[in-house]
Amino acid sequence: MEILRSWLIAPANRPSFLRKWHSCVADCYVLDLEDGTPETEKEATRRALPEIVAELKRGGLSGTLYVRTNAPRSPHTPRDLDAVLATDIDGISIPKLGSVEELKPYVCAIEVAEKARPGKRFGIIGGIESANGVLNVTAICAADPHLVAVYFGAEDFATDVGGMRRTRQGLEVLYARSRVVLGAHAARIAAVDHAVLDFRDEEQFREDSEFGRNLGFDGKVCIHPRQAELANLYFAPTPQEIDFSRRLVAAYEDAERRGIGTIAFEGLMVDGPLVKRARGVVAAADRIASRP
Amino acid sequence: MEILRSWLIAPANRPSFLRKWHSCVADCYVLDLEDGTPETEKEATRRALPEIVAELKRGGLSGTLYVRTNAPRSPHTPRDLDAVLATDIDGISIPKLGSVEELKPYVCAIEVAEKARPGKRFGIIGGIESANGVLNVTAICAADPHLVAVYFGAEDFATDVGGMRRTRQGLEVLYARSRVVLGAHAARIAAVDHAVLDFRDEEQFREDSEFGRNLGFDGKVCIHPRQAELANLYFAPTPQEIDFSRRLVAAYEDAERRGIGTIAFEGLMVDGPLVKRARGVVAAADRIASRP
Amino acid sequence: MEILRSWLIAPANRPSFLRKWHSCVADCYVLDLEDGTPETEKEATRRALPEIVAELKRGGLSGTLYVRTNAPRSPHTPRDLDAVLATDIDGISIPKLGSVEELKPYVCAIEVAEKARPGKRFGIIGGIESANGVLNVTAICAADPHLVAVYFGAEDFATDVGGMRRTRQGLEVLYARSRVVLGAHAARIAAVDHAVLDFRDEEQFREDSEFGRNLGFDGKVCIHPRQAELANLYFAPTPQEIDFSRRLVAAYEDAERRGIGTIAFEGLMVDGPLVKRARGVVAAADRIASRP
């Protein structure tokens, strides 16, 4: 599974935002051709895309580079795909993905582009941010091997469902978030949690990241470079977790050598699943530590 | 989508309750032939129905008038439908609707009645209040164009699922409530939230209405006229929301004219979904203000 | 539905644990051949099983006796089934059940064993503790009449979904727990809630039991005899509930005789579902009181 702690998005038509990316720490950078780029700017931005991508790649980035195209039924989408898949990006993000059917034209375009450029492979990160998207998330996640992740867009979801009010605790989207994580992880792809729009409220970002992390999310949509720093921190095992996990694995392996499969460890009755999870924590910490 | 902030139900055999309706403010009034009318009274109440409906309509009501018939497999249901669809009601409510299959006999009866009375159209409000109802809610909501709404019946649901204990916070029905809103709104019909049985506890009614409203519900089952007043208040945009929404839309449209698609507005990073939602808040406020 | 307040599990290869069972109060005892018994001990434990089961049955148990075999794709499973179904156990528990397909080999083995021993009938308690298990739980529960219950394994589930962090309040598994109860009770079988691993923290066991009970669970996985005592207490109606229920039923039946179907009772507006639930509480209390 890809490391996707921080998925940083900015409008593709705002060079002042993009220039900052060279000093950022995100795991994935996303040039937004959809909502972030207004109608009147879409065509010009699309034309500028090869130069934007080339410049970003030249300057060096800490993570992968994606473009968010327009949504499934938008008239912009075919032209977006033509422009985007001719560049050196790592993949596309599809907003408002509502069904397996809607995924198909994007996969087709990618397969054509991959055939034309042997060795090149594009990823897809699907946006689950509508009533239909949440209802169909399990099928969408399992539909195509290009999918490396889905992100949950709480604001678009709340708008599409209609009448929802977003709260700080977020119980109104607990069902949707739970369903997205479950669908993504059942298909063994990553799940990226929604954005916190108040980009100066670091306390809310921390609380919301922790809740998302508890639910199983692998990372967070970030709308500001500072959020990417924080997300990298919150979506990784803590030193305490790593330490606890190493000790638990050692104690369990010791017991196993004595023919014992269930042990009492620091007050907990421990067997298979906790040992497997502890090994997962150690492996995740190692993978993050060994990032280039 | 119909305005259904308050869905006020009372037993069809209790004239003292019904007489008060002329001075009530509900968006929908429901004469209950099911649980509210005991077995021994059902036949007599059915016979009195034409007169009850005529008198209610004559006196004037602030909203639509529905009859809740008996449940899908009840021997009363065919006779209920015969009696009800010969009156001037606006529609029927079906309790304990568990599947698309169970909906069919009601739709059939309505279609026959509509053919016999050209121009007359009956609505259906489905009761989602069983394990099967919650499991099948998405299919039920999309099954027939007569459906204008579904309501979630938490007490019946808890009884059918079995063993549930209802709490003030209501986390035990969060999954079911979320699923009902999602299924209803995916089909673009309204969703009405469960009743608060302690009709004198206005604080609980407020808390529970706010939770339901956050989840996306459009209104609430009311069992007392006072609850309908409160529901009308809680299931409408607040003055603060309307004001915030108008300012947000103005600021965004101003930015758009300058080729900008993402703006910082009062501490929030704002783009498409929030603008769309703000326009929805303004439109909802206007619709409610222009009610007859 | 079986009374399954306490489902007490222990490794099948630890005689010191099993000897204590004769003085325990669990509704169901489970000998664990899966995670609790390490790889190196599985074969020997399987061979010892006839003697272990015979001894436990001879000593007398307060509840039924089950064996948890290995998981669907494990090479141990066919040998487990051969050994287990030749003994006098009451049923098998299947860990990590992910689909109806995975259930089939177990049902086949049971049907063969039942044919060979006329009159003998084995129950199945399925473990829902993976992403697929939770996604498919409704179908699994309805798949075969041998299923008497499912249990939710939160630790295995969190490990399989990946990245989840377990918290004391447990909102990260609310979706999964809700789905398991709904699937089980729609099929009219029992649902057993997850374990509390810190077996000395009785306060957490109480809180978590109450949350599970509110959600509709019928009992709890127990990993210590003391937890079984507590679960028996928490997963039964309280004296207050029984008293309230008796009074409510009496008041309602009195009103019914006067042709009234909705009554105000101690501040609540009461009709069908609450009366049915109150009768259920009284019946559950009677069933528990009359246990041998």
Answer yes or no: do B37 and C215 touch at CB < 8 A. Answer: no
Answer yes or no: do A135 and B267 touch at CB < 8 A. Answer: no
Interface of C with A (CB under 8 A): 10-11, 13-14, 32, 34-41, 129, 131-132, 134-135, 153, 155-156, 158-167, 171-172, 174-176, 195, 197-201, 223-224
pLDDT at A292: 66
Q: Which residues of B touch A165 (CB under 8 A)?
A: 213-214
Percent of residues in chain B assigned helix, strand, coil, to nearest 5: 50, 15, 35
Closest residue in chain A to residue B237, using alpha carbons only: A163
Answer yes or no: do C274 and B162 touch at CB < 8 A. Answer: no
Of A175, A214, A270, the CB nearest to C164: A214
Which domains are delineated in chain A? 6-234 (3.20.20.60), 239-289 (no CATH)
Block means of pLDDT (10 residues each) for chain C, 292 residues, are 94 91 97 92 95 95 97 96 96 98 98 96 97 97 98 95 91 98 96 95 97 97 97 95 95 90 88 90 91 72
Rounded CA-CA distance B245/A270 in Å is 52
Answer yes or no: do C155 and A274 touch at CB < 8 A. Answer: yes
User: What is the maximum alpha-carbon separation in chain A?
Assistant: 71
CB atoms within 10 A of CB B253: 10
pLDDT at C137: 98
Q: Which residues of A touch C39 (CB under 8 A)?
A: 256
CA distance, residue C114 to nearest chain B CA (Å): 31
Rounded CA-CA distance A67/A53 in Å is 9
Rounded CA-CA distance C197/C228 in Å is 13
Contact assessment for residue A133 and residue A157, using Cβ atoms and an 8 Å cutoff = yes
| Residues pairing with B7 in the sheet | B28, B221
pLDDT at A12: 95
pLDDT at B1: 82
**With the C-alpha atoms ordered C157, C163, C169, C173, is the resulting torsion angle positive or negative?**
negative
Most A-contacting residue of C172, C198, C199 (CB-CB within 10 A), to test interface:
C172
Interface of A with B (CB under 8 A): 10-11, 13-14, 32, 34-41, 129, 131-132, 134-135, 153, 155-156, 158-167, 171-172, 174-176, 195, 197-201, 223-224
Average pLDDT of the segment spanning A169-193: 97
A222-281 tens-digit pLDDT: 999 999 999 999 999 999 999 999 999 999 999 988 888 888 999 888 888 899 999 999
Which one, of C163, C237, C157, C140, lies nearest residue C195 by Cα? C157
CA distance, residue C167 to nearest chain B CA (Å): 16
**pLDDT tens for the 292 residues of chain B, in order:** 889 999 999 999 998 889 999 999 999 999 999 998 988 999 999 999 999 999 999 999 999 999 999 999 999 999 999 999 999 999 999 999 999 999 999 999 999 999 999 999 999 999 999 999 999 999 999 999 999 999 999 999 999 998 899 999 999 999 999 999 999 999 999 999 999 999 999 999 999 999 999 999 999 999 999 999 999 999 999 999 999 999 999 999 999 888 888 889 998 888 888 999 999 999 999 999 887 6
% residues pLDDT > 90 (chain C): 87
% residues pLDDT > 70 (chain A): 100
Rounded CA-CA distance B143/B139 in Å is 6
Of B218, B259, B271, the CB nearest to A41: B259
CA distance, residue C245 to nearest chain A CA (Å): 32
Which one, of C139, C130, C137, C113, lies nearest residue C105 by Cα? C113
Decide if pLDDT at A1 tops 90: no
Q: How many CB pairs under 8 A join B and C?
A: 105
Of B174, B223, B224, the CB nearest to C174: B174
| Residues pairing with A152 in the sheet | A128
Of B155, B164, B201, the CB nearest to C215: B164
Answer yes or no: do B262 and A36 touch at CB < 8 A. Answer: yes
C32-60 tens-digit pLDDT: 999 989 889 999 999 999 999 999 999 99
Q: Helices in chain B by DSSP H: which ranges?
A: 15-19, 42-59, 77-84, 100-116, 131-135, 137-141, 154-161, 174-186, 202-215, 225-234, 239-257, 272-289
